[in-house]
Amino acid sequence: MSLALFDLDNTLLGGDSDYAWGQFLVEKGVVDAAEYAAANQRFYRLYQAGQLDIHEFAAFAFRPLKENSLEQLHDWRAEFIETKIRPIMLPKGQAKLEEHRHAGDILVIITATNSFVTKPIAEAFGVEHLIATEPEFVDGAFTGRIAGTPCFQQGKVARLQQWLGDDLHLLAQSHFYSDSHNDIPLLQQVTHPVAVDPDAELRKTAIEQQWPVISFRD
């Protein structure tokens, strides 16, 4: 039995769920279209460049969570999963999950995207364990802030170590699949790092380190 870690956005999904959620809110008229779409695109470019300030982004991205009722948010999220996420769940990613599941491995999705958006996505993939950035939730409502350590860049390593607790030995037989250079710190911690449809910087690192480079896309 080993640990099989999977990034979510642009790895198991043929797109970015955080960005897609923002665009969905624009389409629904929940947020000001011009302002939100422009900011969403700016933050996404910063993420791709490895220059994202995760707390600044959270203050922006969590605002709709803070300003709307939990019931309404759940209704929007259910529609979002069916209309925007299921169509971009990559079959080859699902097959790799199934390969590890059949081997008896512990499956974990580990993502910078917040748990409100990603929990039902992990469930749709049949993955029990999710490590994600946690939006702070106090007295039945979101505050608009991050709770604890953001699951981003080096924070992914910290959050995984926290999740493993006394079971750090599982890293001795571990896999991690990711597309992003933001995940290089965690890729360097596992036994079997795998670059999946990698961005240019991760592809360069994978070639230098002789990590496998694969594709989940047709």
Annotated catalytic residue, options 7, 16, 18, 183: 7
For the record, the structure tokens of 51 come out as 């220059």
At CA 132, angle to CA 129 and CA 136, rounded to 5?
Answer: 120
- Determine contact, residues 112/152, Cβ cutoff 8 Å: yes
Sequence letter at residue 90: L
Is 139 assigned a catalytic role? no
**DSSP codes joined into one string, 50-65:** T---HHHHHHHHTHHH
Instruction: Please provide the distance, in angstroms rounded to a whole number, between the alpha carbons at the two ends of the chain.
Output: 29
Select from 61, 114, 126, 45 the least CA-distant residue to 89: 126
Is 9 assigned a catalytic role? yes
Q: Give residue 202's Cα distance to chain centre.
A: 17
Which residues, in sequence order, are bridge partners of residue 134?
147
d(CA 155, CA 16): 19
- Determine contact, residues 164/182, Cβ cutoff 8 Å: no
Half-sphere exposure of 49 (CA within 13 A, CB side): 9
Question: Would you name the residues annotated as active-site residues?
Answer: 7, 9
